[in-house]
Amino acid sequence: MPRKSTRLTFAVLATGAGVFSMLQSLIAPALPTVQHALHTSQSTATWVMTAYLLSASVFTPILGRVGDLVGRKRTLVAVLLTVLAGCVLAALAPNIGVLIIARAIQGAGGALFPLSFGIIRDEFAPSQVSGSISNLSAVIAAGGGVGIVAAGPIVSALDYRWLFWIPVLVVAITTLIAFRYVPESPRRAEGRVNWLGAVLLSAWLVALLLPLSQATQWGWGSARVIGLFVAGVVFFALWLLAEARSRSPLIDLKVMRLPAVWTTNTAALLFGAGMYSIWSFLPGFVQTPRAAGYGFGASVTASGLLMLPMLVAMFLSGVLTGRLEPVVGAKVLLTAGAAFGALACAILTFWHDEQWQVALVSGVFGFGIGLAFASMANLIVGSVPAEQTGAATGMNANIRTIGGSIGAAVTSLLVTGRLQPSGLPYASGYTHGFGLLALLCLAAALAALLVPARRTGRATGAPRASAVQSGARPEAAVRGARR
């Protein structure tokens, strides 16, 4: 077997990133089962998701940058081993505390996304980069859908612990193949890890995301929530100052100011708010008993099947993006993806009385996710210097997660702000929530229109890919930004 087979390399990257994406959503439908099995409260069980979110948000950009500096293959293998250890620990967890720790360890796998994009840019021919990034993005997007669909059947047929034992086997094999056959990065960024920047980045991310995820339990006006938000603003300001003064910044703010980067990140923030909220609230909507005046009383498995069109559409549109991007450009595809998301949420706002309507919306939104994921990655990879690929794509994934946390928190306010005597939300809460998500996705489409147009006909993401504004190399664009 050849040591530098791009097909084998892509298979390894897609498997690792896909498993991590699946782990992100796989446990969510099974939280009530976990709560009962480990004899804990609902508020404590939610930390199984919160720990994963916080950990991924911290490690994704930091380890992406570490890969730029010390080697992406080396970092990739280390991250896969960390995910493997987290899955084993989760499968064996005797109590909720150990499971939460295991989920935090698994969160380090968020770095698989930027590392994979960087390896593709390093190792693949220029003509293959754009399509490969699109295909990998399709797998990442579909992985989240697989988690939602597969959770019910796995828990019903086996046990919730198999939600982790199955990934153990897959990640173990992937790690062995990656160690043996994925080539090491031919280029490295200069400098060292800015640990002060890493600590401050971690601090403001945790201070922002923790109250967003826990505000419904703590109360939006509580001292903890307000105090953390204030701390987040302070840490964010300190982080900006530290990065601006560092000779080797963790996240090069000059790169973040490139027009194609900040506009794509803005669209990612807004689209992420809609996407993660749909994933979080649509299954709950269809599982609501009909006695509430809406919903279908679906089981976890049945609600997953209603999300199946989303999974299929995400994968197909992500693969399609790789073929369309050289023709129409990533900007057009990102705009179209966000517009499909807005259309899906608008349909859901007015028509959600039949299961086929939910299935239709699921497919339309999934088509938009596939287009948006792939085009965002291509825009970032094709717009930054090769040695900044890991940090830049990691930050883009992080911004999408931040948007998702904000969207989910605000949607939760609308849905659960007023409850029926039975304790279930009113239908109007969901209607207002879906309407808000439509507006957020529409705003993402408008932000995508601000992305500078780029000449097509040349593969994006090549090691010396053209910069977005004028066809100049990204290195030149960064030098221009520094002046």
- Write down the pLDDT at residue 4: 59
Q: Are 456 and 327 in contact (CB under 8 A)?
A: yes
Q: In which element (H, E) is residue 45 found?
A: helix 42-45
Residues near 241 by Cβ (< 8 Å), separated by ≥ 6?
none
Dihedral angle of Cα 411, 415, 418, 422, to the nearest 10 degrees: -150
Class of domain 6-193+248-482 (CATH, top level) = mainly alpha
The structure tokens listed for 428 are 């109007």
pTM for the predicted model, two decimal places: 0.80
Q: Are 329 and 454 in contact (CB under 8 A)?
A: yes
The structure tokens listed for 159 are 């046990």
Q: Burial letters for 180-218: b for 16+ Cβ neighbours within 10 Å, e otherwise?
A: ebbeebeeebeeebbeebbbbbbbbbbbbbbbbbbbbeb
Q: Are 113 and 136 in contact (CB under 8 A)?
A: no
- Write down the pLDDT at residue 348: 93
- Write down the pLDDT at residue 3: 46
The structure tokens listed for 253 are 């703010």
- Write down the pLDDT at residue 470: 35
Q: Are 170 and 80 in contact (CB under 8 A)?
A: no
pLDDT per residue, tens digit, the chain (483 aa), is 344 578 889 999 999 988 988 888 788 778 888 888 998 887 788 788 888 888 888 888 888 888 888 888 999 999 999 999 999 999 999 999 999 999 999 999 989 988 998 899 888 888 888 888 888 888 887 887 788 788 888 888 888 899 999 999 999 999 999 998 888 877 777 777 788 888 999 999 899 888 988 887 888 889 999 999 999 999 999 999 998 888 888 788 888 889 999 999 999 999 998 888 887 788 888 888 988 888 898 887 888 788 889 888 988 888 888 888 888 888 999 999 999 999 999 999 999 999 999 999 999 999 999 899 889 988 998 888 877 887 788 888 889 888 888 888 888 888 887 888 888 889 999 999 999 999 999 999 999 999 997 654 444 444 433 333 333 434 444 444 444
The structure tokens listed for 355 are 């299961």
Paired with 425 in beta bridges are: 419
- Write down the pLDDT at residue 468: 36
- Write down the pLDDT at residue 454: 65
**Where in the chain are the domains?**
6-193+248-482, 194-247
Task: For residues 84 and 169, give the distance between their C-alpha atoms in angstroms, rounded to a whole number.
Answer: 9
- Write down the pLDDT at residue 230: 96
